[in-house]
Structure 1
């Protein structure tokens, strides 16, 4: 069983690296390239990704990091260098820190087969007293952003623009409402040309947690991914959501840590 489990994790990680790391990871927003990296211009901040840094020596990697920092600094934007736990060289975190990047909270990359999750959560896509609906209107995106601002205790108004852009590129956004109030929200990003649907969001107002809303939103998005023909679900999971998803059958394949350089430093 352990050998089968390890083999499956290796297979899922290989699919993740080959299909999601590179242009397909962010093909729905403006991008440019610099050697092995792709620079992504999200509304909230810049983003740097890559499949591998193989072939570059230490000084070349240092110069590459600085160029990304300066590219987004010239635009007045913070930039996130997305570091995975299995990335090489092993001293890459130290090199990022030396260039002024600071790590944010580490998350776990979880993957599962869409059909398996949809089947496991069959009948769990509803919660008493909660209406879950797919939303497409700007007003709903603003309500979701306001809910997220309450959850996180900071201004998430930028999220309305982000969700509006994602919807124009085919993403599905879901709001969970109670008495007309948005109490949770989540979205699914379908990576065209890959087998993957990315699951994002899932934050819930404190007083509404523990009622199954998070699982219901996973169930709705898993069923939709199956309907659209996407084989895998992928989540960058916080420590809060990771155990929930693992109990549902998601497998941890690596970690991801945002290394961020803020504008104006």
Structure 2
């Protein structure tokens, strides 16, 4: 992969300076608030994204004393994941089979993962159209026998008929940590729906067909009305299942 990227980009990807020359930082001419925002994004969001990527890649990476069922790699994700997913990563889970009802423990685990560990607020009933989950841990925890209980626990978070794709990563060591990665396909995201609706209303309120309004829109928003309308309508189409009819803009 490294050799391929180096060849395609004609740059030494190990040399940070050369990469920065190709992709200039947005902080060069940014305000203090913009600089703080981008720095916070780099420090907070990037590590979280890397944690999810690491959890996704884990089933396809060979390790001693490790079994994966069913075998899962990037091709499986490409075939089965929805175009938009919201990850929920719950790590170091305290599941103890001898401490009580495992179905109840697994239900509590799923509830906590969706409501507290999701990388976006998916609400109480996200109606996910699919779920891809990777459960890893010691052999007595991460096992397919619990699949039925996990499916039952997920039912209140998914739409009727939604596909659930499991993957179990078993470690043959007693002190292995138990982790759960949920990939919720195209869920109802309250903040995004609200933003799209507000953007629609603002465009309709502050723009019109007259050249004067078009010119004001370009000066005040930094982009043409058409480009913004196209972008908003693309988002509305993507999330059309959750959007109110009659709100699109022309």
The answer, yes or no, to whether TM exceeds 0.5 is no
Structure 2 length normalisation: TM-score? 0.25
Bigger Rg over Cα: 2
**TM (normalized to structure 1)?**
0.24
Q: Which structure has the higher relative contact order (CA within 8 Å, separation 6+)?
A: 1
Q: Which has the higher helix share?
A: 2
Structure with the larger strand share? 1
